[in-house]
């Protein structure tokens, strides 16, 4: 489902509420949160540990449901998508980059990058070609046949970014993408991530504790008491 006024917005959240319910307590994590991200814009979200950054990214990526509010991502009304439609939305519209790379250890870098396209029905030849081209854009053409255990931390994270891009998502969601890297690798991943909007036209949303990483974004917010405050 889409609406024309959201066409130029990669993300539009209005009044988003998310509570984790349990017997001991109900934890209100997001309280009427609003957010707009334009197509091609980069945005960073900071905030204390436990403030809800990962929860927000999981909702925008269709990994977590919410009780109240409107959430449109790439023109999809997430509140109205059925469980059956969510995997397609996740595969087509969103690329995920996490703190840990989650590459499959028994597959080479090239295979790891190609698999999400192959699983979406792209032919093996096309998927492998596209994966090779993305790895080369990430500076990894000479590492394509290496297994994750044979790559450095920064190289693994760059392979994970290539994998996030293989299905040409309209938005890349990155959760602490440099949290596990040394300073030099963090810098390489930072510069690569923030080159994505101009490279592919995607939008980028990064959740991070690293003020240096956040400062590279077009807009920076702090998540506090369940809402975003623009810095």
Ligand X SMILES: Nc1ncnc2c1ncn2[C@@H]1O[C@H](COP(=O)(O)OP(=O)(O)OP(=O)(O)O)[C@@H](O)[C@H]1O
Contacts with Mg ion by CB under 5 A lie at 53-54
Restricting to residues 43-62, name those near ligand X by CB under 6 A: 47, 49-55
- Member of 2, 7, 8, 27 binding ligand X (CB under 6 A): 27
CB atoms within 10 A of CB 26: 9
Min CB(128)–ligand X separation in Å: 35
Name the residue among 107, 99, 98, 78 with its Cα closest to residue 1.
78
Min CB(157)–Mg ion separation in Å: 16
Residue 139 contacts which entry, ligand X, Mg ion, none (Cβ below 5-8 A, type-dependent): none
Residue with tokens 């540990």: 49
Which of residues 53 and 143 has its CB atom nearest to ligand X in the complex?
53
Question: E strand or H helix at 172, and its extent?
Answer: strand 171-175
d(CA 118, CA 209): 34
Min CB(211)–ligand X separation in Å: 13
For 91, the token pair is 């595969």
In contact, 39 and 6? CB cutoff 8 Å: no
- Member of 7, 14, 15, 20 binding ligand X (CB under 6 A): 20
Min CB(226)–Mg ion separation in Å: 15
Name the residue among 134, 88, 93 with its Cα closest to residue 113.
134
Q: What residue ranges bind ligand X (CB under 6 A)?
A: 20, 27, 29, 47, 49-55
């Amino acid at each position: 489902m889409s609406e024309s006024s959201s066409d130029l917005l990669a993300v539009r959240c209005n009044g988003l509420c998310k509570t984790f319910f349990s017997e001991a307590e109900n934890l209100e994590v997001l309280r009427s949160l609003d957010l707009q991200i334009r197509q091609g814009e980069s945005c960073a979200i900071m905030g204390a540990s436990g403030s809800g950054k990962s929860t927000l990214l999981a909702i925008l990526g269709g990994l977590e449901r919410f009780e109240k509010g409107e959430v449109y991502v790439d023109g999809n009304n997430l509140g109205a998508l059925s469980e059956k439609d969510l995997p397609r939305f996740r595969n087509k519209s969103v690329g995920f980059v996490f703190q840990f790379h989650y590459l499959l250890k028994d597959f080479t870098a090239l295979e790891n990058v190609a698999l999400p396209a192959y699983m979406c029905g792209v032919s093996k030849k096309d998927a492998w070609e596209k994966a090779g081209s993305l790895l080369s854009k990430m500076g990894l053409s000479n590492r394509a046949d290496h297994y994750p255990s044979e790559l450095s931390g920064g190289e693994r994270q760059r392979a994970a970014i290539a994998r996030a891009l293989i299905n040409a998502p309209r938005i890349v969601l990155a959760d602490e993408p440099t949290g596990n890297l040394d300073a030099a690798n963090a810098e390489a991943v930072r510069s690569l991530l923030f080159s994505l909007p101009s490279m592919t036209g995607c939008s980028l949303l990064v959740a991070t504790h690293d003020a240096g990483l956040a400062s590279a974004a077009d807009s920076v917010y702090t998540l506090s008491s369940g809402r975003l405050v623009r810095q």
